[in-house]
Chains A and B, each alone.
Chain A
């Protein structure tokens, strides 16, 4: 969606901000543009151009709900403004595609089964027994005292566990786990032969390539299918290091439809969801 606006005269300061915002937007500096538009909207909530273009910036950043909200507000100010109506149409189309995208991911995800190891294999079970373990948090917005994280750690005990966080992630003082920060530049990386990634929100990127963990796992809680579709191949090193999946519940295991282990407080359970036969 190209920026569409017919900027109207505004008081000098706002006019200046709007011009700067549009310039930033055209140059692809979307964060800067958003901030500038927000400043205008804060001082002039009824400024059509700022409101409309703020919506457009949100669209360009993939923030569709916010985009819709602002463009719809702009249209309330000028119901016949064609550019805004056209942009609302584009946003709605993009919103419609999101669930379709998730449907696609749901269809495709079971095809990743060959990249995941079957936990029912005795060898595989053996390999995860009684060995030191690193847990690496890839989930955004979680702290180290998260009950889910504690439960996962409890499930793996009595093995020696180290929890690894990326710099900038919050760490709670009351966490019972030994915690370290990943700093690839000083070679502070998980080095255990067994590594479980907690969550799939972000890519470990380059430092994962340097880790060389022999046995890798991914703990899945509530990630959308699309995110898992990104992360499973990456952590399975495109099939060269089959990944073991851990699920927060049987429901989660069924939802994902891949072989893996259910991590519960009760008995240690292993599941092998029925695979789609094609």
Chain B
């Protein structure tokens, strides 16, 4: 239950709460006067910033809020109004506590005592040393942290008035508390447990503790935290681009990184084995504080930020539920580190507008697999459409009521006039007799349709059914073909691929021998001419490596966790009755096959025949350009679905295979998909 104030943001239909970190260092304090000079505030650094290289965006000059003073309640009201207007749920104030001494406390205290602005908030204990270098390290310390369990107790007690405020942000009723550098706190687990006890004893719901990922990877749960939060740019591995810049400051000895490269890193990061909230930066550049030794990320823009946030929102909706749908932004006003949502003269409200736009973008839920009933109903409906034409070979017409064949070979065909006859001939050349061929011509615009019609007329060995239909996409065409299939076994083939002559005989033999309902074989990669695909690019090389690993794996399922090592639906051969439970193929762009085979693994053992009995054609123009991130997103969905009910998976039910399976899951980096009870501590 979230009892903080309701956000007035009208666009957030998905209950994701966006929280922006809030720096209070915009008013003079005596300590800063002493350390940095009279009337020092963060603006002092911001004002003196200068560009260091061509195109370097510095200084950042504030927009409509000006060089404000946070002692002014009107400023705080305007900040909250702006944030609320664009869909930000609340602020996370940095809380400075040094052994009972607080710094920069006035904005927070004023906000608390005045009950204004009426805007949700939480705090993050900025528990590092204050140093002259602004980096919290041990040199030139201005104000040091000295930890003790008693001091930590006083710290949590100091937060009670905040926790009791109705505006305080809660997760499942618990006040949200962030710790900036948890690893610095000795006896961390004991301290967190003590904080929970203290809160309970004070009549406050125990805290929801979140550790910032500022000190490398590590599971926060082992220290008693509920979750972790990314804290970019900590942990970045972005590309350094100093060499590509023209420096105008000869003394500059800092580093400039490519922000897009960093976004790519974050968006493709595997799901960790603990609850992790995503954090975004609009931009980042600490040269105002560090000048010649600063670090900057270039390539930021409101458009990039909007795209990144859309992806993060999507991930958060998929990965978290209820109150735990949180996203953080670093920061609302870290002007000295060049990361601020607050308007500046260059972008105006651009970054705020990006938030509103990302929140307003439609959320497309992951595709579901259609049920068998739906597939059959859709096939019946299609049959009635004028644009759909079904023709059957004379062999099929002979005896429509005859015994169903053992195997139905289903081919979705689309614009493969050059290869489709070869594909069909490779089916006709099978050593098995008892099969039928069902081809769905998915709206081909080349000569494919005519070739198929000719094939129907010519094929005497097997019954053939060809349906010409308007284009619906590969997965829909396969579903249609499966609906028409009458065989006990369904074997798919792509219209540009080929079967080896003994393929079906060997797969069926393997299935029968091992009581398996699903089988696939090794794959040979061929080019347009049918020769072994020569280009050993990293993509093809990886596919070959995956298949090679599958040959030595104790269970093909272990390799199927990483990717569809069957390569394509065309390599699938399975019992038709699996469709009753699995349904058809979902409308994924790339991963419909992987989703299907993983679902099948719940119902039947999967056999892998090592011999390369499937010839998969790779075309030179085949490319995944533009689809890599989509692939990551789809993989996330597919794995989330597979792991949803993992305790019921046959590999988990058998004590002998359970641990091996769990190890395989973790070794491949998918521990984050396991239910909480199964995750590594």
- Answer yes or no: do A and B interact: yes
A61-B243, A98-B261, A278-B361 as given contacts; A104 in contact with B301, CB under 8 Å: no
Of the candidates B55, B242, B244, B258, the one whose C-beta lies within 8 Å of that of A101 is B258
Known: A93-B237, A206-B51. A107 touches B248 (CB 8 A): no
Given contacts A97-B264, A98-B261, contact A104 B629 (CB under 8 A): yes
Contacts of B357 in A (CB 8 A): 278
Q: How far is the CB of B281 from chain A (nearest CB, A)?
A: 15
Interface residue total, chain B, C-beta cutoff 8 A: 40
CA distance A28 to B629 in the complex (A): 33
Answer whether residue A60 sits at the interface, using C-beta atoms and an 8 A cutoff.
yes
Residue of B nearest to A60 (CB): B240
Q: Are B237 and A229 in contact (CB under 8 A)?
A: no
A206 contacts B248, CB within 8 Å? yes
Q: Chain A contacts of B307 at CB under 8 A?
A: 104, 107-108, 111
B237 touches A226 (CB 8 A): no
| Contact A230–B299 (Cβ < 8 Å) | yes
Q: Does B29 have its Cβ within 8 Å of any Cβ on chain A?
A: no
Asked if B55 and A205 sit within 8 Å, CB to CB, the answer is: yes
Smallest CB gap from A100: residue in B: B264
CA distance A108 to B307 in the complex (A): 7
Distance between A242 CB and nearest chain B CB, rounded to angstroms: 15
B306 at the interface (CB under 8 A from A): yes
Contacts of A204 in B (CB 8 A): 54-55
Bound Cα distance A60, B625 (Å): 26
Hey, what's the 0/1 contact readout for B257-295 against A, CB within 8 Å counting as 1?
A: 010110111011000000000000000000000000000
Chain B residues whose C-beta falls within 8 Å of the C-beta of A63 in the assembled complex: 243
Q: Which one of B246, B258, B260 lies within 8 Å of A202 (CB-CB)? A: B246
Q: Which residues of A contact B53 (CB under 8 A)?
A: 205
A90 to B347, CA, bound (A): 35
Q: Which of chain A's residues have a CB closer than 8 A to the CB of B144? A: none
Residues of A within 8 A of B264 (CB): 97-98, 100-101, 103-104
Q: Which residues of A contact B548 (CB under 8 A)?
A: none
Pick the contact of A205 from B242, B248, B299 — CB < 8 Å? Answer: B248
Tell which of A61, A94, A103, A233 touches B242, judged by Cβ atoms closer than 8 Å: A61
Contacts of A112 in B (CB 8 A): 303
- Please, which residues of chain B bring their CB within 8 A of the CB of A234? 55
Q: Is A150 at the interface (CB under 8 A from chain B)?
A: no
Contacts of A94 in B (CB 8 A): 237, 239, 261
| A28-B253, A100-B267 known; A106-B626 Cβ under 8 A | yes
Q: Give chain B's interface secondary structure class.
A: mixed
Known: A111-B307, A205-B55. A104 touches B263 (CB 8 A): yes
Judge whether A62 is part of the interface by a CB distance below 8 angstroms: yes
In the bound assembly, the distance between CA atoms of A144 and B629 in angstroms comes to 39
Is B429 interfacial (CB-CB < 8 Å)? Answer: no
Contact B242 A226 (CB under 8 A): no
Check: B560 CB closer than 8 A to any chain A CB: no
A105 interface hit (Cβ, 8 Å): yes
In the complex, the answer to whether A111 meets B306 with C-beta atoms within 8 Å is yes
Chain B residues with CB below 8 A from A103, complex form: 264, 625-629
0 or 1 for each of A220-242: is its CB under 8 Å from B? (1 = yes): 00000010011001100010000
0 or 1 for each of B618-645: is its CB under 8 Å from A? (1 = yes) = 0000000111110000000000000000
A124 to B109, CA, bound (A): 55
CA distance A233 to B241 in the complex (A): 19
Taking the complex as formed, is A54 at the interface, i.e. its CB lies under 8 A from any CB of chain B?
no
Residues of A within 8 Å of B126, CB to CB, are none
In the bound complex, residues from chain B placing their C-beta under 8 Å from that of A230 are: 55, 298-299
Question: Counting CB contacts under 8 A, is A203 at the interface?
Answer: yes
Interface residue ranges, A against B (CB under 8 Å): 1, 28, 30-31, 60-64, 90, 93-94, 96-108, 111-112, 202-206, 226, 229-230, 233-234, 238, 278
> Can you name 22 A-B residue pairings with CB atoms under 8 Å?
A61-B242, A62-B244, A63-B243, A64-B239, A94-B237, A99-B625, A100-B264, A100-B267, A101-B258, A103-B625, A104-B260, A105-B260, A108-B304, A111-B307, A203-B54, A205-B53, A205-B54, A205-B248, A206-B248, A229-B260, A233-B301, A233-B303
Known: A62-B239, A203-B246, A205-B53. 5 other contacts (CB 8 A): A28-B253, A104-B264, A104-B267, A106-B626, A233-B303
8 tightest Cβ-Cβ pairs between the two chains A and B? A203-B55, A205-B54, A100-B264, A111-B303, A97-B264, A101-B264, A203-B54, A61-B243
